[in-house]
Amino acid sequence: MGAALTIQTAYNIESPVIPLYAVGLATRDSIILEFSPTIIGLILAGKVGSNIASELGTMRVTEQIDALEIMGINSASFLVLPKIVAAVIINPILIIISMVLGIFGGWLFGTLGGAVTTTEFVYGLQYAFQPFYVTYALGKTLAFAFLITSISGYFGYYTEGGALEVGSSSTRAVVYSSIFLLVANYLLTQVVLT
């Protein structure tokens, strides 16, 4: 993603007015503000969301959740809460890794392809850097992690029927998680960045 972003930015700003270090700056801000938290969030909604919904859905239709309830365990908090906590802890780490890899990929392929030099790219990365952008991106990630796991957990936990309904719950979990994630992304951007 970082590589494609760098190359596209470089070839779209072929102008004597705009300095080439803007490629590094655009890559940095795009990846930190949008691509890492949102795109990785959508990917996680697909992967983690479907996994949570299908796992809980299968547990529901095979009566494993009933078995937990019979033992006197609050099954919703026992099954869903650890997933929310895990996502809230792990997703920011994944996002940080994706930011580093995205920017590294942008530098690597941007310089290898001759779109930008290392000096210009690194200067762009450092130019007018606002640490708050990282805080904002990680804050967004926390919100997305909560949304993905709680929405998917809801659809999985309340599955009724059999294998067909488990698949249906899984699909709905991914669709609703993605939609809510995009809406939350807009709202957070509107509220926090403007």
Partner 1 sequence: MIEVKNICKSFDGKQILDNVSVNFDEGKTNLVIGGSGSGKTVLMKCLVALYEIDSGTIIYDGRDFTLFNADEKRDIRKEIGMVFQGGALFDSQTVAQNVAFPLEMFAKMNPAEIKERVDFCLNRVNLPSAHELFPSQISGGMKKRVAIARAIALNPRYLFFDEPNSGLDPKTSIVIDNLIAEITEEYNIVTVVNTHDMNSVLEIGQKIIYLSKGRKSWEGNKEEILDTDNEEVNDFVYASELFKRIRKSSRDR
The angle subtended at Cα 180 by Cα 177 and Cα 186, nearest 5°, is 140
Total residues binding partner 1 (CB under 8 A)? 12
Question: What minimum distance in Å lies between the beta carbon of 111 and partner 1?
Answer: 46
- Enumerate residues 6+ apart whose C-beta is below 8 A from 10: 20, 23, 110, 115, 116
- Determine the interface stretch with partner 1 among 39-47, 65-73, 138-146, 182-190 (rule: CB under 8 A): 65-73
Return the C-alpha torsion angle 23, 24, 26, 29, nearest 10.
180
**Short-list 161, 192, 184, 146, CA closest to 44:** 146
Among positions 62, 77, 118, 135, the unique one binding partner 1 when judged by CB under 8 A: 62
Element spanning 41, H or E: helix 40-44
Residue 73 interacts with partner 1 (CB under 8 A)?
yes
- Determine the interface stretch with partner 1 among 10-18, 45-53, 71-79, 178-186 (rule: CB under 8 A): 71-79
Check if the beta carbon of residue 133 is closer than 8 Å to that of residue 27: no
Taking the C-alpha atoms of residue 17 and residue 194, their distance in angstroms, rounded to an integer, is 27
Quick note: the x/- pattern for partner 1 over 74-93, rule CB under 8 A, is x-------------------
Residue 187 interacts with partner 1 (CB under 8 A)?
no
Question: What minimum distance in Å lies between the beta carbon of 153 and partner 1?
Answer: 16
- 66/130 with CB nearer partner 1: 66
Residue 71 interacts with partner 1 (CB under 8 A)?
yes
Question: What minimum distance in Å lies between the beta carbon of 58 and partner 1?
Answer: 8
